[in-house]
Amino acid sequence: MKRIAFPWMALALAMVTLAATGDGKKFGARDPRACPSLKEPTRGAPSAGQVKEILACQAEGLQHSGAVGDLLYLVTDVAVEIGKGRPFNPMTDSFNSIDPSQSVYPIRGTYTKWQCGVSGSIGAPAGKNCSRNDAIPMAGSCFKDTFGDWHCSICCQMGSSAKNGFPPPTGY
């Protein structure tokens, strides 16, 4: 089962069409991206590409809901910048298992968030079963935990700019 950290964020490596064979199939969408190795880099800041992968792992996935039915969350069009590392601050960096001996890296950017209902279900006609929220601004930080794994925590302004009736995304 994929972990969802809704409404957290994610990655856009290339615009490629991907065939769904798992969680995305019943939505007519690509599958959520799998988690990359969270150990790299072992020193210094993660690259923008690595941050995008970490965020995708945290933001994409399947949510089971009895009231609404299954929902698929995906992200596309991610743009991210990484700032200069700074020391851990116990007043602002209260993340579980954060390693206080490691630098914390600020991040910011934008992304498009998708929420899809099961294709063909009530309220989710095939080919128009997704809502899209474009250019959501985000800011947060990346840090290592005490096991040496990277985590990127991002918050965004969610606003009511989601638009309904879109086909599911098939690329990143």
User: pLDDT per residue over 78-118, tens digit each?
Assistant: 899 999 999 999 888 877 789 999 999 999 999 899 999 99
Burial of 109 (0-12, 13-18, 19+ CB in 10 A): buried
What pLDDT is attached to residue 150? 93
User: Which residue type does 147 have?
Assistant: F
The answer, yes or no, to whether residue 11 has pLDDT greater than 50, is no
pLDDT confidence band for 58 (50 / 70 / 90)? confident
Take residue 53 and report the two structure tokens written for it. Answer: 């992968």
Cβ proximity of 93 and 101 under 8 Å:
no
Residue 128 DSSP one-character state: -
Cα separation, 130 vs 137, in Å, equals 20
What is the CA 45 to chain-centroid distance, rounded?
19
Reduce the DSSP state of residue 39 to 3 states and report it. Answer: coil
Residue 29 DSSP one-character state: S
What pLDDT is attached to residue 8? 31
> pTM, whole model, 2 decimals?
0.77
More confident residue, 144 or 92: 144
